[in-house]
Amino acid sequence: DSGVTQTPKHLITATGQRVTLRCSPRSGDLSVYWYQQSLDQGLQFLIHYYNGEERAKGNILERFSAQQFPDLHSELNLSSLELGDSALYFCASSPRTGVVSGELFFGEGSRLTVL
């Protein structure tokens, strides 16, 4: 158990809909990262927050947004969903601002299926 909690574990929705994925980082970790894992693209970095502030954006679509709240939990909002958005979405946390010092701790992921 990494200590990172993601909800929901599974989500099935229709095209055009909007969903919110939630992540609670390990106790004390200030950084939260979001990754998308699909069969064709592999693991893609989406966005990084540190202590409530956005630090870096990766391959995140404009239809997607995220935020990190004062209690450090984070939410990833996916809107106008398309079939291609079906993937595993991972949240990871670390105690520091970046991956220079060490590892990321991953949650078990939220599996999104868009029908």
Nearest approach in angstroms of CB 109 to another protein is 6
Kindly state whether residue 106 participates in binding another protein, applying the rule CB under 8 A. Answer: yes
Distance CA 47, CA 21 (A): 14
Distance CA 109, CA 8 (A): 8
Using the rule CB under 8 A, which residue among 28, 42, 62, 71 binds another protein?
42
Asked if 31 and 100 touch (Cβ cutoff 8 Å), the reply is no
- Which of positions 52-91 make contact with another protein (CB under 8 A)? 55-56, 58-59, 88, 90
Distance CA 52, CA 30 (A): 8
Residues that bind another protein (CB under 8 A): 2, 4, 33, 35, 42-43, 45, 48, 50, 55-56, 58-59, 88, 90, 92, 97-100, 102-109, 111
